[in-house]
Amino acid sequence: MAKNLVIVESPAKAKTIERFLGKDFTVKSSFGHVRDLSKKQLGVDVDKGFKPNYIISEDKKKVIAELKKLAKDAEMVWLATDEDREGEAISWHLFETLKLEKDRTKRIVFHEITKKAIDDAINNYRSIDLNLVDAQQARRVLDRLVGFELSPVLWRKVKPALSAGRVQSVAVRLIVEREDEVKNFKVTSYYRVTADFKIENNGKVSELKAELPSRFKTKEEAVEFLNTCIGAEFSVNAIEKKPAVKKPAPPFTTSTLQQEASRKLGYSVSKTMLVAQQLYESGKITYMRTDSVNLSDLALGMAKKEITDNFGEEYHQSRKYSTTTKGAQEAHEAIRPSYLNQHEISGTSDQKRMYSLIWKRTIASQMSNARMERTTVNIGISKTSKKFVAKGEVLIFDGFLKVYLESTDEADQQAKSGVLPPLKEGQKLPLVKMDATERFTQPPVRYNEASLVKKMEELGIGRPSTYAPTISTIQKREYVLKEDRPGTIRDFNLITLKDKEISHTVKNEKTGQVKGKLIPTDIGNIVNQFLIKHFVNIMDYNFTAKVEKEFDEIALGQKAWNKMIEAFYKPFHKRVETTIEKSEKFSGEKLLGQEPENGKNIFVKIGRFGPMVQMGDTESEEKPRFAGLKKGQTLENITLQDALDLFKFPRSVGNYEDEEMTVSIGRFGPYVKHKSKFYSLAKTDDPLTVDDARAIIIIEEKRKKDREKVIKKFDENQEVQVLKGRWGPYISIGKKNIKIPKGTEPEKLSLEDCLKIAEEADKKPTKARRAKKK
């Protein structure tokens, strides 16, 4: 039995550390937090100093049992969880649940996993910092109080099963407000003038492109300018050369990795985290949930060697980066390859691509600046004081650009200017042509997953471990949707001056394309309005920053955590109560107009099951009729006619096999119902016009598919079937579906085999079932 037990948070880390420590040490992991507030109740006694009721998480019971046993037998327990608020709390929870003894427990921390760092940590042990633990408890309790008191208000006033929280509600707000900006943006057009000149140098002909720095507001002004330029003489007024440098970006944090993987590899933030986790677990990169841009001395040394060996000494420049991020806790290093001499790895193509990205970014961060020379040429016009400007850039030394350049979010970047041809001051420039192109002002760009993370990080909302889960939560609650939109064609004017003649053409371009952007739903809009109306302080972009400041004071021992919570909770709770009592249901109800025949009012609003239309008043004797909105329809864009169409369902479309067929719109889109069976319409079908002939085709097609679906049937037991599904063959027994074990040929299964497989499946634990809920 080892004399020493070391407990860290991650099992991968445990493995590495164990190698450094030798056989007197056993290293185990806690797998993150081991206790939390009870899941079902508030878990905080608001009347007794906000005493938290901690419960060992179900999936941690085994871990705790094992650690308890090992701790009992060890001479010394070393709590080596991360050096931040959460890590300190994990150590404390371990101390409490494992019932450790003070004089046989030491708290240590290290930021990098090297022999030296670990030895140093062992020599610099301390005790658990209870102030820091209190700061974490305050954070935990605050989040619980906000989440568990606010969400029920939404259930009562807006719609059941909604949620609100310090982080997610503000994330939704960002998206809602950006959408409003896009909606309210007034596109205006202007004219940009460019000119092409011909340059002759010793018989060599080249082109010089220049632009007028000022823009024209109207077509008339642009034409007037071009008119002025007819027959004018153009000449070089001045040439200015200026040196410039470009610096590499700092090494990756979780947030910047998510952004770059999104831009360069097209990954969602959850995919980025999944692949990074694989790389971490196989020891190829350092920890992937970090807000630090710091590289260890070891890494700096490796980077220096790699750069000098591969590119030469002049390419190396040692750099220390420091974080500018609000609320960063910096318990880890930046995300970097574990071994920088490994330029490539084996693995899946996703892993290879991400590794290569991380390697390049890390190496580039320790390389020299790129140096260039920027040239600006002013070109005078004989008939006006306006001037054209030509810009060129020559790379003098590539530096870090040799390996890596960070991408940007800006959609339409100016074309990179290249080398200018040799020019002399006073030189005459013959005009080839001049274009005045109509351009349009751009609305703000909607967030995608990664740019939302960037914004959240700027505001200090959320942590590296929660960016991805938060983004999936707000989509799961249907507050926002990730959307693609094809865009529309827009005409623009092009006026050209060539050979002293002015010509007008109309061209077109695609605009308004959207790919993977986050767009608020009706529910998202309504919930956001509601929360801002009643709980503006929590929706404040600075709320987190404010409470973080108080958590810091608690960590420094300047404030008692439950006093802080009390000061927040009293007014907050009162607000919750008055909102429940006084405020009306918040449905976003809007009167669209009247039904032309019966004159009843038509409303749109959020109902128990989402956005819907209503015919007739709620207070009237006669019950109103309801219908859900179709995909793509929103409270804002729906018209009276759309709404009236929705009441046309269910529509009878004739008889088939002596039974009526009806077309209706359900939760999963339009369908035909026949003999109490459902048949989905194709995307191309219009549910308002589908007739009997088409409905019969749809029914028959589905029947054919169902027949092909059956691999095996058993006459002796009709309930049991072997079927072909979307995910391969499976056994269906009544309402239950069972996966076929690997290596079994579905065609050869007998009834007995099927029943046996089903029985086996039944015995297995029901863990998978928890994930079933939508």
Partner DNA sequence: CAGTGAGCGAGCTTCCGCTTGACTT
Q: Which of residues 447-466 bind DNA (CB under 7 A)?
A: 461-466
Q: Tell me if 607 contacts DNA by CB under 7 A.
A: yes
* Strand bridging mode 384-397 / 370-381: antiparallel
Q: Which is nearer to DNA, 172 or 303 (CB)?
A: 172
The minimum distance between CB 324 and DNA, in angstroms, equals: 18
Q: Tell me if 771 contacts DNA by CB under 7 A.
A: yes
* Among 4, 16, 36, 282, contact with DNA (rule: CB under 7 A): 36
Helix pair 449-459, 467-476: axis angle to 10 deg: 120
Scanning the structure block, which residue is given the tokens 């905080």? 44
Q: Footprint of DNA on residues 67-86 (CB under 7 A)?
A: 82, 84-86
Q: For the residues of 287-344, what is the DSSP string, one character each?
A: -SS-------HHHHHHHHHHHHHHH-GGGB---------TT----S--B-BS-TT---
Q: Which is nearer to DNA, 20 or 31 (CB)?
A: 31
Decide: helix, strand or coil at residue 351.
helix
The minimum distance between CB 471 and DNA, in angstroms, equals: 11
Question: What's phi and psi for 368, nearest 5 deg?
Answer: -65, 160
Helix, strand, coil percent content, the chain, rounded in steps of 5: 40, 25, 35
Give the per-residue contact string, 706-745, with DNA (x = CB under 7 A; - = no): -----------------x-xxxx-x-x----x-x------
* Among 612, 653, 754, 757, contact with DNA (rule: CB under 7 A): 612
Q: Which is nearer to DNA, 105 or 544 (CB)?
A: 544
Q: Footprint of DNA on residues 192-211 (CB under 7 A)?
A: none
Q: CA dist 271 to 240, 258, 275, 332, 765, Å? A: 47, 9, 6, 21, 28
Q: Tell me if 608 contacts DNA by CB under 7 A.
A: yes
Q: Tell me if 631 contacts DNA by CB under 7 A.
A: no
Q: Tell me if 27 contacts DNA by CB under 7 A.
A: no
* Among 95, 138, 165, 363, contact with DNA (rule: CB under 7 A): 165
Decide: helix, strand or coil at residue 665.
strand
The minimum distance between CB 445 and DNA, in angstroms, equals: 25
Locate all alpha helices (DSSP H) within 76-114, ordered by sequence.
Answer: 85-97
* Among 421, 516, 628, 746, contact with DNA (rule: CB under 7 A): 628
Q: Which is nearer to DNA, 230 or 733 (CB)?
A: 733
Give the per-residue contact string, 646-665, with DNA (x = CB under 7 A; - = no): ------------------xx
DSSP state of 262: I
Q: Are 453 and 255 in contact (CB under 8 A)?
A: yes
Q: Which is nearer to DNA, 312 or 725 (CB)?
A: 725
Among this protein's residues, is 671 annotated catalytic? no
CA geometry: angle 393, 409, 211, nearest 5 deg: 40
Q: Tell me if 541 contacts DNA by CB under 7 A.
A: no
Of 198-206, 429-437, 606-614, 631-639: span binding DNA (CB under 7 A): 606-614
Decide: helix, strand or coil at residue 725.
strand
Q: Tell me if 284 contacts DNA by CB under 7 A.
A: no
Q: Tell me if 163 contacts DNA by CB under 7 A.
A: yes
At 471, list the tokens: 């983004």
| Torsional sign, CA 259, 261, 263, 267 | negative
191, 287, 467, 679: which is the annotated catalytic residue? 287
Q: Footprint of DNA on residues 303-342 (CB under 7 A)?
A: 329
Q: Tell me if 168 contacts DNA by CB under 7 A.
A: yes
* Among 23, 99, 102, 772, contact with DNA (rule: CB under 7 A): 772
Q: Tell me if 56 contacts DNA by CB under 7 A.
A: no
Q: Tell me if 422 contacts DNA by CB under 7 A.
A: no
Q: Tell me if 629 contacts DNA by CB under 7 A.
A: no
Decide: helix, strand or coil at residue 762.
helix
Q: Footprint of DNA on residues 569-598 (CB under 7 A)?
A: none
Q: CA dist 765 to 269, 635, 770, Å? A: 31, 44, 11
* Among 20, 321, 492, 626, contact with DNA (rule: CB under 7 A): 626
Four-point Cα dihedral 448, 450, 454, 455, nearest 10? 20
The minimum distance between CB 529 and DNA, in angstroms, equals: 18
* Strand bridging mode 625-628 / 610-615: antiparallel
Query: Which string of b and e fits 13-22 if b means at least 16 CB within 10 Å?
Result: bbebbbeebe
Query: Which string of b and e fits 745-756 if b means at least 16 CB within 10 Å?
Result: ebeebeeeebee
Q: Which is nearer to DNA, 71 or 171 (CB)?
A: 171
Give the per-residue contact string, 103-142, with DNA (x = CB under 7 A; - = no): -------------------------------------x--
What is the Cα–Cα distance from 358 to 276, expressed in whole angstroms? 10
Give the per-residue contact string, 672-711, with DNA (x = CB under 7 A; - = no): ------xxx-------------------------------
The minimum distance between CB 585 and DNA, in angstroms, equals: 7
Scanning the structure block, which residue is given the tokens 């019932």? 99
Q: Footprint of DNA on residues 362-421 (CB under 7 A)?
A: none
Q: Are 80 and 7 in contact (CB under 8 A)?
A: yes
Give the number of residues in contact with DNA, rule: CB under 7 A: 90
Q: Which is nearer to DNA, 62 or 504 (CB)?
A: 62
Please, how many CA atoms are within 13 Å of residue 473, restricted to the half-sphere of its CB?
17
What is the Cα–Cα distance from 206 to 479, expressed in whole angstroms? 55
* Among 31, 397, 656, 714, contact with DNA (rule: CB under 7 A): 31
DSSP state of 345: -
Give the per-residue contact string, 342-361, with DNA (x = CB under 7 A; - = no): --------------------
Q: In angstroms, how far is CA 16 from the centroid of its own chain?
A: 31
Q: Which is nearer to DNA, 10 or 368 (CB)?
A: 10
Instruction: Show which residues are catalytic.
Output: 287
